[in-house]
């Protein structure tokens, strides 16, 4: 690298500080001296470090280091990550139009998207893509699949495909096209009265998708709606606000934000008139994977007493980011404000600064706080107990947690821990017994997918008779007489010790898991969700029966 280019890059790093200060209206008398220090450190590393240092990488690492000092959600994004993330949140990208999975190092076509480039050339569900542009796809990772199959619209990709049932090798030339993605994974009726909508994330098209699904369910006679936000990591705040607005009458507060500097980063979002479902029973499902925009929606509907929240304590992300682009295509996703639910709850979990604090933050997110350990007499909160779940009525917990201030924490260590965990506390907190080690080994090794694939590749399997009808599959498919031998075969292939007593004890759960994978491979993600919801999901069963919320007064 020339000295001139090094000087240019050093000036870029210095300019970054000024740029960020101007963009965020920051300031201070010592700003130049502090930025000069960053510039000097960059120059020293470039000039004296024992090995040659890439200037772009060093600049990026410097920005990332500053970001890590702030909070777990402020991040620096390389140009490739910005491009991929933007396509995901825009709701469309250029590609070949398949839903795929990687099972046993093999790229499986779960389903070609209707009307997409792959469907138009004859690629089918269950096909195995074994080569992409003459390069083997065996052992490919999901990230590599995206990199190889996405590309500029109109460009072509050559696929070599194995069709298992016929044993034929086929060649396809697929022209990449515009692919629209959906954030609504499933929308259907449970029986004649209950509608169900699964929202996987909040992207630019979510509110429009949601309104369309809501209208369809209303036309089918829905009188109770279950919104499933489990595992939804969030997305655009404005989209969550639009969805909430469908259920709240004019003037009700949905969410408000506060920032250090005030101005544009502080806003209050109020419901408008004309929502699509302002009356009618409403249940929201959350778990520890429900974060950010999901928590905005759940918190708004809970605080306004418009919906009952069922499930687990949610993730606890109450920070709002703004993505600030750089000229080279990279970006800084910077926390600019905190959001609050209508009652004033700030649901952000406690975190510590630095890379170690960031790592601990995400580790703590996977730790379950069990409601039965919060009180000396948890049975007083017991709502339901059966062989599948224990349910506690915990709608009183938010006010108790909010009361922990001014020295009132003494003797309330468990509630203080719950407060520090942040998140939306469900009205009905559902806990389930954990699966055995044997079940978890089968799950973690991919054995369920492996057994499903073996069955769908076998012309003699009973599953073959249900390829054309999801409804028949859910209602009639009873499984395989040789199921135990299939599990044993998969265990041998995965080098797992077969636990016969564990298999007998959890056979029903193992069969259900395999059937759900068959549903996914035959009918896509919505087929798998419908199977699980209609045949097995204990949280949905509770959501169908719990008492509805009572409307609140307007919160302004």
pLDDT, tens digit, for every residue of 69-88? 899 899 888 887 888 788 77
The answer on 161 and 198 residing in a single domain is: no
Residue 24 domain-assigned? no
Distance CA 381, CA 372 (A): 9
Residue where a domain stops, chosen among 146, 180, 214: 180
Please count the other Cβ atoms lying within 10 Å of the Cβ belonging to residue 321. 18
Helix axes 507-535, 483-494, angle to 10 degrees: 110
Q: What angle in degrees, to the nearest 10, is found between the helix axes of 483-494 and 447-457?
A: 120
Indicate if 372 belongs to the active site.
no
Same domain? 214 vs 101: no
Q: What is the three-class DSSP state of 542?
A: helix
* Residue range 182-240, pLDDT digits in tens: 899 999 999 999 999 999 999 999 999 999 999 999 999 999 999 999 999 999 999 99
CATH assignment at residue 142: 2.30.42.10
User: Which position among 118, 239, 302, 321 bears the catalytic label?
Assistant: 321
Q: How far out from the chain centre does Cα 495 lie?
A: 31
- List, as one string, the DSSP characters of 86-107: HHHHHTEEEE--EEEEEETTEE
List the CATH number of the domain containing 424: 3.90.226.10
Residue 191, SS3 per DSSP: coil
Let me know whether 471 and 360 are in one domain.
Answer: no
Q: Evaluate whether residue 489 is within a structural domain.
A: yes
At 483, the pLDDT band (50, 70, 90 cuts) reads very high
Percent of the chain exceeding pLDDT 70 equals 90
Question: What integer is the mean pLDDT of 310-318?
Answer: 94
Do 143 and 262 share a domain, yes or no?
Answer: no
Q: What is the DSSP letter of 368?
A: P
Are residues 415 and 310 part of one domain?
Answer: yes
502 vs 179, residue with greater confidence: 502
Compute the Cα dihedral for 23, 25, 30, 32 and give only its sign. positive
Least confident of 307-316, 325-334, 339-348, 359-368: 359-368
384 and 499 belong to one structural domain? no
The separation between CA 507 and the C-alpha centre of its own chain, rounded to angstroms, equals 29
Report the SS3 class of residue 41: helix
Note whether 116 and 128 are within 8 A (CB).
no
Catalytic residue among 182, 292, 302, 314: 292
Give the Å distances, CA to CA, from 507 to 131, 436, 501, 519: 37, 11, 10, 18
pLDDT score for 42: 86
Please give the Cα distance from 367 to 364 (Å, whole number). 5
Same domain, residue pair 344 and 417: yes
The model carries a pTM of: 0.84
Q: Cβ neighbours of residue 524 under 8 Å, at least 6 residues apart?
A: 99, 110, 111, 125
How many domains does the chain contain in total?
A: 3
* Confidence at residue 7, expressed as pLDDT on a 0 to 100 scale: 39
Which residues are within 8 A (CB) of 279 and not within 5 positions of it... i.e. 6 or more apart? none
* pLDDT tens digits along 11-60: 454 455 445 555 555 555 566 677 788 888 888 998 898 998 888 888 88
For residue 57, indicate whether it is catalytic.
no
Same domain, 442 and 525: yes
What residue numbers bound the domain in which 508 lies?
A: 437-541
pLDDT of 433 reads: 83
**Phi and psi, residue 88, nearest 5°:** -65, -45
Per-residue confidence (pLDDT) for residue 411, from 0 to 100: 53
The residue with greater pLDDT, 71 or 143, is 71
Give CA–CA dist 11/489, Å, rounded. 62
Q: Is 40 helix (H, G, I), strand (E, B) or coil?
A: helix
- Over residues 341-345, mean pLDDT: 94
- Does residue 3 fall inside a structural domain? no
Query: Are residues 343 and 382 both part of a single domain?
Result: yes
Domain termination residue (choose one: 158, 180, 202): 180
Catalytically annotated residue among 148, 252, 288, 317: 317
What SS3 class is residue 228?
A: strand
Half-sphere CA count of 256, side-chain side, radius 13 A: 14
169: left (phi over 0), alpha (psi -120 to 50) or beta: beta
Is the distance from CB of 89 to CB of 205 less than 8 angstroms? no
Residues 486 and 373 grouped into a single domain: no
Q: Do the domain assignments include residue 553?
A: no
Domain check: are 260 and 345 in the same one?
A: yes
Q: How far apart are CA 455 and CA 438, in angstroms?
A: 21
My answer on whether 203 and 168 are in the same domain is no
Of 124, 156, 180, the position where a domain reaches its end is 180
- Cβ atoms of 498 and 483 within 8 Å: the answer is no
Helices and strands: H and E segment counts in the chain: 19, 21
Q: Residue 321 catalytic? A: yes
């Amino acid at each position: 690298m020339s000295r001139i280019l090094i000087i240019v890059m050093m000036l870029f790093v210095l300019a970054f500080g000024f740029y960020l200060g101007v963009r965020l209206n920051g300031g201070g008398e010592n700003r130049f001296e502090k930025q000069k220090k960053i510039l000097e450190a960059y120059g020293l590393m470039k000039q004296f470090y024992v090995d040659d240092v890439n200037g772009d990488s060093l600049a990026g690492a410097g920005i990332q280091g500053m970001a890590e000092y702030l909070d777990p959600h402020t991040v620096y994004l390389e140009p490739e990550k910005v491009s991929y993330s933007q396509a995901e949140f825009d709701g469309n990208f250029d590609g070949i139009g398949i839903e795929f999975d990687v099972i046993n190092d093999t790229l499986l076509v779960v389903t070609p998207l209707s009307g997409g480039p792959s469907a138009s050339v004859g690629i089918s569900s269950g096909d195995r893509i074994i080569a992409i542009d003459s390069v083997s796809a065996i052992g490919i990772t999901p990230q590599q699949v995206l990199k190889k199959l996405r590309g500029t619209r109109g460009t072509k990709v050559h696929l070599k495909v194995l069709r298992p049932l016929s044993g034929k090798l086929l060649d396809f030339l697929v022209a990449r096209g515009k692919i629209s993605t959906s954030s609504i994974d499933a929308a259907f009726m449970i029986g004649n009265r209950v509608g169900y909508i699964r929202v996987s994330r909040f992207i630019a098209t979510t509110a429009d998708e949601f309104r369309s699904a809501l209208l369809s369910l209303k036309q089918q006679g829905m009188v109770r709606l279950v919104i499933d936000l489990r595992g939804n990591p969030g997305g655009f705040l404005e989209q969550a606000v639009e969805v909430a607005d469908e259920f709240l009458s004019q003037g009700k507060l949905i969410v408000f934000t506060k920032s250090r500097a005030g101005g544009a980063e502080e806003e209050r979002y109020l419901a408008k008139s004309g929502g699509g479902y302002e009356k009618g029973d409403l249940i929201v499902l959350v778990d520890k994977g429900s974060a950010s925009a999901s928590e905005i929606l759940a918190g708004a509907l809970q605080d306004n007493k418009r919906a009952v929240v069922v499930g687990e304590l949610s993730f606890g992300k109450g920070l709002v980011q703004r993505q600030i682009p750089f000229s080279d295509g990279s970006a800084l996703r910077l926390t600019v404000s905190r959001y609050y639910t209508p009652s004033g709850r700030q649901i952000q979990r406690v975190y510590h600064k630095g890379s170690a604090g960031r790592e601990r933050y995400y580790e703590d997110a996977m730790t379950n706080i069990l409601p039965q350990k919060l009180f000396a007499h948890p049975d007083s909160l017991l709502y339901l107990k059966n062989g599948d779940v224990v349910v506690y009525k915990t709608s009183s917990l938010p006010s108790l947690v909010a009361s922990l201030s001014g020295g009132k924490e003494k003797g309330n260590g468990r509630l203080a821990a719950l407060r520090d965990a942040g998140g939306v506390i469900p009205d009905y907190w559902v806990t389930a017994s954990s699966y055995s080690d044997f079940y978890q080994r089968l799950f973690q090794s991919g054995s369920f997918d492996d057994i499903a694939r073996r069955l769908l590749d076998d012309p003699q399997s009973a599953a073959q008779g249900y390829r054309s009808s999801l409804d028949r599959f859910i209602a009639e498919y009873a499984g395989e007489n040789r199921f135990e031998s299939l599990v044993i075969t998969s265990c041998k292939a995965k080098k797992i010790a077969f636990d016969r007593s564990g298999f007998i004890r959890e056979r029903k759960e193992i069969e259900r898991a395999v059937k759900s994978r068959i549903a996914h491979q035959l009918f896509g993600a919505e087929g798998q969700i419908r199977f699980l919801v209609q045949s097995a999901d204990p949280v949905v069963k509770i959501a169908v029966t719990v008492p509805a919320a009572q409307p609140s007064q307007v919160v302004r």
